Amino acid sequence: MTDQATTADDLALAAVPHLVTELPGPNAREWIARDAAVVSPSMARVYDLVPARGGGCVIEDVDANRFLDFNAGIAVTSTGHCHPAVVEAIERQARDLIHYCGSDWAMPGYTEVCERLAASVPIEGPSRVFLANSGTEAVEGAIKLARAATGRPNVIAFLGAFHGRSLGSLSLTASKAMYRGGFGPLQSGVYHAPYGVPGYIEDVLFRHLTVPDDVAAIIVEPLQGEGGYLVPPPGWMAELRDLCDRHGIVLVADEVQSGVGRTGTMWTIEHDGVAPDVVLSGKGLASGLPLAAVIGKADLFSWGPGRHGSTFGGNAVACAAALATLDLVEGGLTQNAAEVGAHLIEGLQKVQAEHPDQIVDVRGRGLMIGVEMTDHDAAAALEQACFRAGLLVLTCGPAAVRMAPPLVVSTDQADIALGILATALR
């Protein structure tokens, strides 16, 4: 393989990292300046990356620098960048029909995605599905669905949670106060409990703040994402299931980031052997095209025609990408996530043993792994040092670095990432 990768397939196999300019390079600096002049300042810019092309786990920037991508566009490009099967499905569908509104007409691709998702979730009994564009829309849909089904107003979420930034989902988000500041009053009837703490909902919330008969839903990330890639303690998800059963509350598993094979099972909640009432999907569902889903027990869908909908949700091209994605994820990428994830965690634990004064903890499931540092500044410094060395990672929680590469990542690429991380720590 030469340094000049001409296609996405070539790029996926190209040597990486491959840095040919200073970072950022001259073209990147120009684009960053143009971006700063016109784009909303609410758009965070983590580091000076300006992507131009992608293939597999490789990103090439506008100056032809190649990076090993271990954030996958924030856990979105599940099948890698520009997987040929996904690209072919998108191109084929775009030649036939790009859009017609799935809210008002039966669209074959929409129906097929719903059938596949309904068959995949660990929900007891038959399921129905609503398709949206983004994770935050899926959360909004789940709030409405639970309230319509139960006739109750309140919702319980968890500290550290990220469920989106539209006003309803923002009311549930509690990962950073900055997200909420200046946007009040937020939705009423939302209560927060500490993540993974047994007994808190009954001992505190039900005793002091809300009676359980007023609670429509408990919404939980089976592995908390932006809050720090936190794995719940054994038995805690089962406790939530029992609590919901006793009080008629809808248990919503927000798998927008953790689902679609990322943790080595199709849905992360399967690790805990718990059947939720609703599963939310997004991010990796269509390998980068906007698609999300509310998948729930069929008897919860009591709302009638027109009570919820979406002009673009379930778009024909996005659904084609999702069907190709599901084929790949179910056809081997989930298993690869489990195997390479275990290899990566083992390697990170060895790096931790060599740097116990810097790495506090390594945790995760499959390819959703958190590396806890001593403090936020240390995590941010490691994120930047990895970028300068050609590895793309992101921080999360108070002091963690997350590793969430595409599910096509190889053990060789995992070893490259481990080497860069170890060097960056030194």
CATH number at residue 408: 3.90.1150.10
Name the domain boundary from 327, 352, 373: 327
Same domain for 297 and 190: yes
Average pLDDT value for residue range 409-418: 98
Q: Give the chain's domain count.
A: 2
Q: What is the model's pLDDT at position 129?
A: 98
pLDDT confidence band for 364 (50 / 70 / 90): very high
| Mean pLDDT score across all residues of the chain | 96
pLDDT confidence band for 318 (50 / 70 / 90): very high
Same domain for 102 and 74: no
Same domain for 165 and 73: no
Domain span holding position 367 = 8-82+332-425
User: Domain holding 283: CATH number?
Assistant: 3.40.640.10
Same domain for 257 and 179: yes
In a domain, 336, yes or no: yes
Average pLDDT value for residue range 250-266: 98
Same domain for 112 and 55: no
Same domain for 372 and 317: no
Same domain for 394 and 276: no
Q: What is the model's pLDDT at position 273?
A: 97
> Whole-angstrom Cα distance, residue 340 to residue 163?
28
pLDDT confidence band for 7 (50 / 70 / 90): confident
Q: Which of 192-211 are b and which e, b meaning 16 or more Cβ less than 10 Å from the residue's Cβ?
A: bbebbeeebbeeebbeeebe
Q: What is the model's pLDDT at position 1?
A: 37
In a domain, 1, yes or no: no
Q: What is the model's pLDDT at position 4?
A: 63
What proportion of the chain, given as a percentage, has pLDDT over 90? 95
Q: Is the pLDDT of residue 6 over 80?
A: no
Q: Is the pLDDT of residue 46 over 90?
A: yes
Average pLDDT value for residue range 91-117: 96
In a domain, 3, yes or no: no
Q: Which of 289-311 are b and which e, b meaning 16 or more Cβ less than 10 Å from the residue's Cβ?
A: bbbbbbbbbeebbeeeeeebebe
What proportion of the chain, given as a percentage, has pLDDT over 70? 99
Same domain for 200 and 337: no
Q: What is the model's pLDDT at position 166?
A: 94
pLDDT confidence band for 307 (50 / 70 / 90): confident
In a domain, 283, yes or no: yes
Same domain for 43 and 67: yes
Name the domain boundary from 301, 327, 353: 327
In a domain, 398, yes or no: yes
Same domain for 216 and 101: yes
In a domain, 2, yes or no: no
Task: Give the model confidence (pLDDT) of 210-246 as tens digits.
Answer: 999 999 999 999 999 999 999 999 999 999 999 999 9
Q: What is the model's pLDDT at position 3?
A: 59
Task: Give the model confidence (pLDDT) of 49-68 as tens digits.
Answer: 999 999 999 999 999 999 99
Name the domain boundary from 308, 327, 346: 327
Q: Is the pLDDT of residue 2 over 60?
A: no
The structure's pTM equals 0.96
Same domain for 65 and 121: no
Same domain for 280 and 191: yes
